[in-house]
Amino acid sequence: MTLQYGAQLSLGQIAPDFEAETTDGPIRFSDWAKDSWVVFFSHPRDFTPVCTTELGEAARLKPEFDKRGVKVIGLSVDPLDKHDAWAEDIRQTQGTALNFPMIADPSKHVSQLYGMIHPEADPSITVRTVYVLDPARKVRLTLTYPPSTGRNFHEVLRVIDSLQLTDRHKVATPVNWQPGERAIIVPSLSDEDAAKRFPQGWQADRPYLRWVELKE
């Protein structure tokens, strides 16, 4: 499967497998990602200023990703030798060495496979895309940022926290939710079934809006 330029993967779709060279050596994506959540994000060419800060921040946050069972991987369409030089710039300017693999995609095979090529620009410029994949390699989040705006990895972590919570319980998370705050019982769960699942009870503002405190 190869997507049209700019046609991104959809929520619920199984992310395609591929083989690639990375800064950590060659990988088959399915083997590398096995049984883990994955944050997969793309970059335009190496030595771009905003992406330099993003890669440094993602490296700084590795303990937070590890705590959630999440692997991080990046992609740029430049070759491996440029990635290695860029990694040294990231270490020097951001104070954190790259600690996850960066895919070298000079053939643009992977970026086309994942719809990371911008349809209105030079085909060497990737859309600044973020995919969050679950352990079944199912797409659970897609984000696309403009070149001028750095990505918010704290928001990516927040969404992962929500996804992992809602996978464990029959709940959804409300606007601006943060870990530890109350959740919403999904409408598909009847009051009878909710009473079995949530013996601590809940607050109902409306029949369809039931708030529950979860003890994790």
Q: What is the pLDDT of residues 95-126, one digit of tens each?
A: 999 999 999 999 989 988 998 876 665 655 66
Same fold, 19-150 and 169-212: no
Catalytic positions are 51
What does pTM read for this prediction?
0.91
pLDDT tens for each residue of 53-76: 999 999 999 999 999 999 999 999
Domain locations in the chain as residue ranges: 19-150, 169-212
For every one of its 216 residues, what pLDDT tens digit does the chain have, with 9 covering 90 and above? 544 444 679 999 999 999 999 999 999 999 999 999 999 999 877 788 889 999 999 999 999 999 999 999 999 988 889 898 999 999 999 999 999 999 999 998 998 899 887 666 565 566 689 999 999 999 999 998 887 889 999 999 999 999 999 999 999 999 999 999 999 999 999 999 999 999 999 999 999 999 999 987
Superfamily of domain 19-150: Glutaredoxin (3.40.30.10)
Instruction: Spell out the long-range contacts of 118-127 with Cβ–Cβ below 8 A and sequence spacing 24 or more.
Output: 118/5, 118/6, 119/4, 119/5, 119/6, 120/6, 123/5, 124/44, 124/45, 124/77, 125/44, 125/45, 126/42, 126/43, 126/44, 126/75, 126/76, 126/77, 127/6, 127/8, 127/42
Q: Are 90 and 55 in contact (CB under 8 A)?
A: yes
Superfamily of domain 169-212: Antioxidant, Horf6; Chain A, domain2 (3.30.1020.10)
